[in-house]
Amino acid sequence: MRLIPVFTSLLLSGTALLAGCSANPVSGENQLALMSEAEEIQTGQQAHRDILAKTPPYQDAAVQAYVSRIGQLMAAQSHRNNLRFTFTVLDDPAVNAFALPGGYIYITTGLMAYLNSEAELAGVLGHEIGHVSARHNVSQASWSAVGGILASVAGEKLGNKELINTLGELGLSNYSRTQELDADGLGAEYLARAGYDPANMANVIATLQAYDQFKGNTSDPYRDLFSTHPNNDQRLQQLIGQARQYGRGGRDAGHDSYLRQTDGIRLPLGNGQTVQVRLITANAGDTFDTLARSSRLSNNAAMHLRVLNGMFPTGEPRPGQLLKTIQ
């Protein structure tokens, strides 16, 4: 079997594709990008339609407008503020946020229920804007295309199914750890530029870690970046420190105003039942144990309320504090 023509074909195909490099809008370094910006936007538009066909947007115009306003504030600070960013709250109990090429950003009602301030919401949106700014999803799609085309060549020349599968999977996994850290750094920078304390980026990650720990979720590649509490993670704290050159957080974090946006969000209780997030004001003597007695939560309700209010694992409410509960 003559291998030279086979690998020559692979090399030529790869060389043609790698010619599609462009400067990263954030770092200025070359990265693989087989989509022009116009193609990126078109791809995002089509995917946006597909997502809305499968997962309905949250039917609360005021909440949608609120999230869009914060999102546009953050997008204006980004390295690609020329893009027309679109922000959508999806009516989905999964605790999630994600971005599509071209500036389409999504956050679920499930994640909104567990955040506790406008600044934390801005941190989530800033992180996703960071992925778009650095064209991480375009780079992923490009590597996926390289994998598919090289796999096709390999299939024709070699007929090696294992190689085809390996190449076809190239670029189809989650964001790399480097990309996630980059997005955290950009999110912190955009927070600072918008006037929020960039330390809210660490608050977001702490919330996600607390949720995972409470739910007993299996390890998450992103959250596992931080083996300790985010406030003690040197890499994240370095990114936050660097972001402070752009601002130190004069804007109010917006705790109460944000919580009012979560009032009425529905979450699954199990057995086809749902519950609602409701707001209360803590009275003197209230603890999460006493509040749990009037909640519809059944299993470990007090600890669940701590997670919901960003006080996991040992926090207690203060008199007069606005809180989320479950009814």
Residue pLDDT, tens place only, 56-67: 999 999 999 999
- The residue among 121 and 43 whose pLDDT is bigger is 121
Q: In terms of pTM, does the model score above 0.85?
A: no
- Above 70 in pLDDT, residue 206? yes
Q: What is the mean pLDDT of residues 268-297?
A: 91
Is the torsion defined by CA of 140, 145, 150, 152 positive or negative?
A: positive
- Above 60 in pLDDT, residue 321? yes
Categorize the per-residue pLDDT at 284 as very low, low, confident or very high, splitting at 50, 70 and 90: very high
Which pLDDT belongs to residue 31? 61
Measure the CA–CA gap between 315 and 151, rounded to whole angstroms.
Answer: 53
- Above 50 in pLDDT, residue 168? no
Least confident stretch, 46-50, 250-254, 310-314, 317-321 = 46-50
Q: How do residues 122-153 score in pLDDT, each as one tens digit?
A: 999 999 999 999 887 776 654 344 333 333 33
- The residue among 222 and 274 whose pLDDT is bigger is 274
Report all structural domains of the chain as residue ranges with CATH numbers, in order of start. Answer: 4-35+136-168 (no CATH), 37-135+175-246 (no CATH), 263-326 (3.10.350)
Which pLDDT belongs to residue 257? 97
Which pLDDT belongs to residue 90? 94
Burial state string for 140-165 with b = 16 or more CB within 10 A and e = fewer than 16: bbbbbbbbbbbbebbeeebeeeeebe
Q: Across the strands, what pairs with 98? A: 106
Measure the CA–CA gap between 168 and 165, rounded to whole angstroms.
Answer: 5
Measure the CA–CA gap between 259 and 103, rounded to whole angstroms.
Answer: 26
CA distance readout (Å), 196 to 61, 70, 123:
25, 11, 9
Which pLDDT belongs to residue 248? 76
Q: Where would I find the beta strands (DSSP E) of the chain?
A: 21-23, 30-32, 86-90, 97-100, 104-108, 266-270, 273-281, 322-326
Which pLDDT belongs to residue 30? 53
Which pLDDT belongs to residue 20? 55
Measure the CA–CA gap between 242 and 238, rounded to whole angstroms.
Answer: 6
Which pLDDT belongs to residue 34? 62
Q: At 32, give phi and psi (nearest 5°).
A: -70, 125
Kindly give, in sequence order, each residue whose CB lies less than 8 Å from that of residue 295, ignoring residues fewer than 6 positions away.
301, 305, 325, 326, 327
Categorize the per-residue pLDDT at 268 as very low, low, confident or very high, splitting at 50, 70 and 90: confident
Kindly give, in sequence order, each residue whose CB lies less than 8 Å from that of residue 82, ignoring residues fewer than 6 positions away.
none
Measure the CA–CA gap between 322 and 282, rounded to whole angstroms.
Answer: 6
Which pLDDT belongs to residue 33? 55
Confirm if 193 and 247 have CB atoms less than 8 A apart.
yes
- Above 60 in pLDDT, residue 174? yes
Which pLDDT belongs to residue 10? 33
Tokens representing 185 are 């750094």
Least confident stretch, 2-16, 186-200, 230-244, 306-320 = 2-16
- Secondary structure (3-state) at 285: coil
Q: Tally the C-alpha atoms within 13 A of residue 27's C-alpha that lie toward its C-beta.
A: 14
Q: Across the strands, what pairs with 90? A: 57, 108
Which pLDDT belongs to residue 227? 46
Q: Which of 307, 316, 95, 99 is nearest to 220 (CA)?
A: 95
- Above 60 in pLDDT, residue 157? no
Tokens representing 4 are 């030279």
Which pLDDT belongs to residue 78? 96
- The residue among 36 and 300 whose pLDDT is bigger is 300
Tokens representing 314 are 């040992």
The 10 Å Cβ neighbour count of residue 178 is 10
pLDDT over 90, % of the chain: 49
Kindly give, in sequence order, each residue whose CB lies less than 8 Å from that of residue 74, ignoring residues fewer than 6 positions away.
122, 125, 126, 129, 190, 191, 194
Which pLDDT belongs to residue 211? 93
- Above 60 in pLDDT, residue 236? yes
Which pLDDT belongs to residue 137? 78
Instruction: Name the average pLDDT for the chain.
Output: 80
